[in-house]
A = this chain, B = another copy of it.
Amino acid sequence: LLFCSTHSICAKPNIIIMMMDDMGWGDLGVLGQPAKETPNLDQMAAEGVLMPDFYSANPLCSPARAALLTGRLPIRNGIYTTNEHARNAYIPQFVVGGIQDNEILLPELLKTAGYKSKIIGKWHLGHQPQYLPLQHGFDEFFGSPNCHFGPYNDKGTPNIPVYRDGEMAGRYYEDFIITPTGESNLTQLYIQEAIAFIENQTRSNNPFLLYWVPDATHTPLYASRAYRGTSQRGLYGDAVRELDDGVGLILGKLKELGITKNTFAFFTSDNGGALVSKYHGGSNGPFLCGKETTFEGGMREPAIAWWPGTIKPGQISHQLGSIMDLFTTALNIAGIKPPSDRIIDGTDLLPNLINGTVNINKPIFYYRGNEMMAIRIGLYKAHYWTWTNSIKEFDKGVDFCRGENVVGVMTHEQMNHTDSPLLFHLGRDPGEKYLIGNTTEEYKGVMPGIMAVVSDHKKKLIPGEPQLNMCDGSVQNWAPPGCEKLGDCLPVPPSHPHKCVWNH
Contact = CB atoms under 8 A, between A and B. Distances in A.
Interface string A151-188: 00000000000000000000000000000000000000
Given A286-B283, A403-B288, A316 B434 contact: no
Contacts of A36: 50, 52, 316
A236 B279 contact: no
A363 interface: no
A35 B52 CA distance: 8
Contacts of A30: 30
A416 to B, nearest CB: 23
A114 B433 CA distance: 51
Contacts of A379: 232
Contact of A34 (B53, B404, B425, B433): B53
A278 interface: yes
Interface size class of A (residues with CB under 8 A): 35 or more
A33 interface: yes
A429 interface: yes
A128 interface: no
A429 B278 CA distance: 9
A431 B286 CA distance: 11
A433 B273 CA distance: 15
Contacts of A52: 34-36
A133 interface: no
Contact of A427 (B237, B402, B404, B406): B237
A430 interface: yes
A115 B406 CA distance: 51
Nearest to A280: B428
Contacts of A53: 34
21 contacts: A26-B285, A26-B286, A29-B316, A30-B30, A32-B285, A33-B286, A34-B285, A35-B430, A36-B52, A36-B316, A232-B379, A232-B427, A233-B428, A234-B428, A237-B428, A279-B428, A279-B429, A283-B286, A285-B285, A286-B286, A403-B405
Give the 6 A-B CB pairs with smallest separation, nearest first.
A32-B32, A232-B427, A405-B405, A234-B428, A279-B428, A403-B433
